Structure 1
Amino acid sequence: MPGHHTSLQRLTQGLREVGPALFHGVPQPHEELLALVWGPRFDREHALGLAAHQPEQAARTLPALLSAADYFDTMAAEGQRRLRRLILRHGRLAKQA
C-alpha cells in the first residue's frame, strides 16, 4: 500500500525533525522514542514530560510531536509494528556507528 508507506515516511520525518531537540541530553533516545509508541496509543504524557525538560524548544517540538501522536493513534496495528521495527533498527545502527 503506497499511501501507508508515504504516511509512515511523513511521520518518521516529523520525528526526525523534532528528535534532536526533544531528546537532547537523553542517554537512550531510541528507547525513549520506543516508549512513546510501544502501546496501541502514543504516550502523550511521557512525551510532555520529555518536552518539559527542554522548555526553550517546546514551542517548536510540541506541535510536531502532538501531530505525530495523533497520526500514530490512527495507524493500523501493522503500521505501528513497522514503525517500532524501524526505530529498533535505527537504534542498532546508531550503536554500531
Structure 2
Amino acid sequence: VIFPYHPRLGRYSLNFHEAQKACLEQDGILASYDQLHEAWLEGMDWCNAGWLDDGSVQYPISRPREECGQKETPVGVRNYGYRHKDEEHYDAFCFTSNLN
C-alpha cells in the first residue's frame, strides 16, 4: 500500500531524513518510483510532491488542474528531480503492508 505522508506541521515540512523517519514510524519505508507509478496506474491523484527512496521528489496526477501544475499538462507521475536531502522540504510517499 502506498500512502502520502502529510505531517501535521503543515505542507512540505520534511527533509529527506525526516521523511524516512516518518515512514518508519508508520511501519513503512519511503516508496520507490515503481511503487508510486503503480499507485498512479491504480488511480492515485495527489497534488503535494513527496520524497521517494532514491532522493527524488515526485507526485502522481490523474486529474490535471491549475493548482497541481497546470490543467494542460499530461497525467502521470510528475518529477521535481533529485533534491537536496538536508535543505529542501516536501511531504513523503510511504510504502507499507500495515497501515496504522
Q: TM-score, normalised by structure 1?
A: 0.27
Q: TM-score, normalised by structure 2?
A: 0.26
**Higher share of residues assigned helix:** 1
Structure with bigger RCO (C-alpha 8 Å, 6+ apart): 2
**Higher share of residues assigned strand:** 2
